[in-house]
């Protein structure tokens, strides 16, 4: 898949020897892999057993994403000057790419059992598990039907399709006369053509205008925001000594009938590769692939949040459920919110396969789409223009040359798409306890593990909207200046519909909730803690009470600038002195519990009020006992005493001004 490589050139740092080998290594070091292949082939023509030359031919094919061609050369890679275990591992990967699973299994077993490098041994173990799973993947019934988009494809590369307003956008090397030395093929440009679904009008094919395309730079992998007015694409790989070796993401906006001058966006990292962008369906999240430091392997998938000013922040690795020791790239988010991507690290048929991320009771499950969507070749760059049909790219056997664009349709008779949304409004309470809308509130949706899924800043209407999934528990966290941070739970368990009962292909279901924030600046307002129970005449905290106090721990952690009083109250059973003493011991017990949970003692005051501040009558008007009233009086409350300045952030915390200092968008 030259298309993948053109947006993923890595320079290998090796030492040079002399003569023809030195010249070949120089080309290899500069990332001119096709040139290196040609020079090393001249060496092995005279010396077929030259293990080092064979190794670097294999490496050149692998690094230019033609690992299927590397097999005979890795097989002869023996000797000094390189890592033989690594060569054997890549030999097995080349065998997988050529569909030789039994042979690959044998070589991987040797690497697993004999290699000294523990990381390589783990990768071999993972690759073996992937081969074992192939039989299971192959047995899965497939309803996909695929077809080469022959009218569009050429002997050159066509890949990474994207669909917008009845136009198909794609990357191709079809008409660029300048050669990229790494692959020996033309530089790639971005194209578009009018289309009705998969029926492309080839007479309308045209390159995107300058300044989007540049003759001696590779452009590719385009994505549009849902409103179609923001374009992000990969740009780089000049091949020149002073040019870009790697790829960055660029942004252009549609203004006054044309696309603006592309500008690099602030998620890019120096000397690393960022490309294959994709927007979430709401346009608030950007997904992309990068080989930056701190990942799990080759290229990993990341997300970044777009703020109200159109800048990106909170870059986050999507984690080990999705990312592997191999390459993950070409993300795409469908209308139903499912993430699709390509990987050679998850169990697949050889090179890149297309996968979909499903959620099962809050867990992430990665599924191979199976054949015929996937093959032993590279399969990547999926895009659905309808829930049951779309495009993808493959360099499988039977194509027109290099990477080709294919169309597909999912003919599963039971296919039903159910989208669940959580819509809500943020409020605060007025003096009379009536609600009023609270604008400019940041609401964050957390999953059952407490990890952020989405966030949203409300407008003047206080409304927010999140995509949620069936049979899951969530936490909503609301934050606004001058208000206490509020957390509340929400569940979709028991609120889903059975897809088999639906007649439409797509069904949207909206669930409702509200988030109410209390004013922080009103000191001395009392908040009662529900379900704080103690044993009779005891200050021992019961387990059920501990769970309620843990919620207060969360409130104090969310609002580090407040100091509170923990107040304990009793009914009027017993003497005044006894009740004061008992309530003080209980208040102190709650404070000690909070301290043990990490809350600073300087932020806490324990106060026992005894029976002095009842909120209900302990007796009825006739003088008889009022058990309900006494129960209400036996309560624990917290009261805000002071509101100090927000703690200063440490140097390693997110600095927005520093992060965006080079962003000119």
On the question of pLDDT at 88 being above 50, the answer is: yes
- CA 293 – CA 265 distance, rounded (Å): 18
Three-state DSSP at 461 gives coil
CATH class of 144-410: mainly beta
Give per-residue burial for 506-543: e unless 16+ CB within 10 Å, then b.
Answer: eeeeeeeeebebebbeeeeeeeebeebebeeeebebee
Cα diameter, the chain: 114
Does the bond joining 99 to the residue before it have cis omega, within 30 degrees of 0?
no
Reduced to 3 states, what is the DSSP secondary structure of residue 237?
A: coil
| H-only helix segments in 194-324 | none
Confidence of residue 661 (pLDDT cuts 50, 70, 90): very low
In this prediction, residue 1 carries a pLDDT of 62
Identical topology for domains 144-410 and 417-517? no
3-state secondary structure of 358: strand
Per-residue confidence at 48, pLDDT binned at 50, 70, 90?
Answer: very high
- If you average pLDDT over residues 4-17, what whole number do you get? 43
Q: Are 55 and 83 in contact (CB under 8 A)?
A: no
pLDDT in tens, 345-362: 899 887 899 999 998 777
**Domain 417-517, CATH class in plain words:** mainly beta
The token pair at 614 is 């009842």
pLDDT (0 to 100) of residue 77? 93
Tens digits of residue pLDDT in 598-608: 999 999 999 99
* Lowest-pLDDT choice from 199-208, 234-243, 335-344, 615-624: 234-243
Topology classification of domain 2-136: 1.25.40
Give per-residue burial for 189-212: e unless 16+ CB within 10 Å, then b: bbbbbbbeebebeeeebebbeeeb
Confidence of residue 652 (pLDDT cuts 50, 70, 90): very low
How far is C-alpha 488 from the geometric centre of its chain's CA atoms? 24
Q: How many CA atoms lie within 13 A of 212 on its CB side?
A: 25
Q: What is the pLDDT of residue 459?
A: 92
Per-residue pLDDT tens for 371-381?
999 998 899 99
pLDDT at 196 over 70: yes
Give 241's pLDDT tier (boundaries 50, 70, 90).
very low
Q: Does 244 have pLDDT greater than 60?
A: no
Tell me what pLDDT residue 16 has: 38
The Cα 141–Cα 371 span in angstroms is: 9
Query: 520 near 562, Cβ under 8 Å?
Result: yes
Homologous superfamily in CATH for domain 526-643 = OmpA-like domain (3.30.1330.60)
Confidence class for position 214, pLDDT limits 50, 70, 90: confident
Q: How far apart are the first and last CA of the chain?
A: 33
Alpha-carbon span 640 to 483, nearest angstrom: 12
Task: Give the span between the Cα atoms of 239 and 218, in whole angstroms.
Answer: 9
For the chain, give every domain's residue range. Answer: 2-136, 144-410, 417-517, 526-643
How does residue 617 score in pLDDT terms, banded at 50, 70 and 90?
very high
Cβ–Cβ < 8 Å for 434, 414: no
């Amino acid at each position: 898949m030259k298309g993948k490589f053109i947006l993923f050139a890595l320079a290998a740092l090796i030492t040079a020897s002399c003569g023809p080998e030195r010249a070949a290594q120089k080309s290899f070091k500069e990332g001119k892999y096709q040139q290196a292949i040609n020079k090393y082939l001249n060496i092995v023509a005279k010396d077929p057993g030259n293990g080092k030359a064979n190794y670097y031919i294999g490496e050149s094919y692998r690094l230019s994403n033609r690992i299927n061609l590397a097999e005979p050369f890795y097989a002869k890679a023996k000797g000094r000057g390189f890592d033989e275990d690594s060569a054997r591992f890549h030999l097995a990967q080349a065998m997988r790419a050529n569909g030789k699973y039994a042979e690959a299994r044998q070589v991987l077993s040797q690497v697993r059992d004999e290699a000294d490098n523990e990381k390589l041994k783990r990768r071999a173990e993972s690759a073996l598990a992937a081969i074992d799973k192939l039989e299971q993947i192959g047995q899965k019934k497939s309803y996909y039907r695929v077809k080469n988009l022959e009218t569009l494809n050429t002997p050159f590369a066509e890949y990474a399709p994207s669909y917008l307003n009845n136009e198909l956008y794609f990357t191709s090397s079809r008409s660029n006369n300048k050669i990229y030395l790494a692959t020996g093929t033309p530089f790639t440009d971005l194209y578009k053509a009018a289309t009705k679904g998969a029926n492309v009008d080839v007479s309308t094919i045209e390159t995107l205008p300058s300044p989007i395309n540049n003759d001696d730079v590779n452009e590719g992998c385009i994505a549009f925001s849902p409103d179609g007015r923001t374009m992000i694409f990969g740009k780089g790989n000049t091949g020149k000594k002073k040019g870009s070796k790697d790829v960055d993401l660029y942004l252009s906006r549609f203004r006054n009938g044309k696309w603006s001058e592309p500008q690099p966006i602030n998620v890019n990292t120096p000397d690393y590769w960022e490309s294959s962008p994709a927007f979430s369906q709401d346009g608030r999240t950007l997904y992309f692939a990068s080989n930056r430091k701190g990942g799990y392997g080759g290229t990993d998938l990341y997300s970044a949040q777009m703020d109200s000013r159109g800048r990106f922040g909170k870059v986050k690795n999507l984690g080990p459920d999705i990312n592997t020791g191999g390459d993950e790239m070409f993300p795409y988010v469908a209308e139903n919110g499912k993430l699709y991507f390509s990987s050679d690290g998850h169990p697949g048929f050889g090179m890149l396969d297309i996968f979909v991320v499903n959620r099962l009771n809050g867990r992430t499950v990665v599924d191979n789409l199976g054949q015929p969507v996937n093959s032993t070749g590279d399969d990547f760059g999926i895009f659905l223009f309808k829930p049951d049909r779309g495009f993808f790219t493959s360099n499988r056997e039977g194509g027109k040359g290099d990477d080709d664009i294919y169309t597909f349709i999912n003919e599963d008779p039971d296919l039903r798409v159910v989208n669940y949304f959580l819509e809500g409004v943020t409020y605060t309470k007025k003096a009379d306890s009536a609600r009023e809308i609270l604008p400019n509130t940041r609401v964050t949706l957390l999953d059952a593990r407490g990890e952020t899924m989405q966030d949203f800043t409300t407008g003047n209407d206080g409304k927010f909207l999140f995509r949620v999934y069936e049979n899951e528990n969530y936490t909503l966290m609301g934050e606004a200046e001058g208000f206490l941070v509020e957390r509340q739970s929400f569940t979709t368990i028991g609120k889903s519909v059975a897809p088999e009962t639906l007649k439409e292909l797509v069904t949207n279901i909206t669930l409702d909730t509200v988030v109410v924030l209390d004013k922080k600046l009103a000191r001395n307002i009392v908040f009662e803690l529900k379900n704080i129970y103690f044993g009779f005449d005891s200050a021992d905290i019961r387990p059920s009470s501990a769970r309620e106090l843990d919620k207060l721990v969360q409130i104090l952690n969310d609002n580090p600038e407040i100091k509170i009083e923990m107040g304990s109250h009793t009914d009027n059973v017993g003497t005044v002195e006894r009740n004061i003493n008992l309530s003080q011991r209980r208040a102190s017990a709650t404070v000690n519990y909070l301290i043990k949970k990490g809350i600073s003692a300087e932020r806490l005051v324990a106060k026992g009020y005894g029976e002095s501040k009842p909120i209900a009558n302990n007796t009825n008007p006739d003088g008889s006992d009022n058990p309900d009233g006494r129960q209400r009086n036996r309560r624990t409350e917290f009261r805000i005493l002071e509101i100090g300045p927000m703690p200063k952030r440490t140097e390693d915390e997110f600095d927005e001004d520093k992060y965006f200092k080079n962003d000119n968008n």
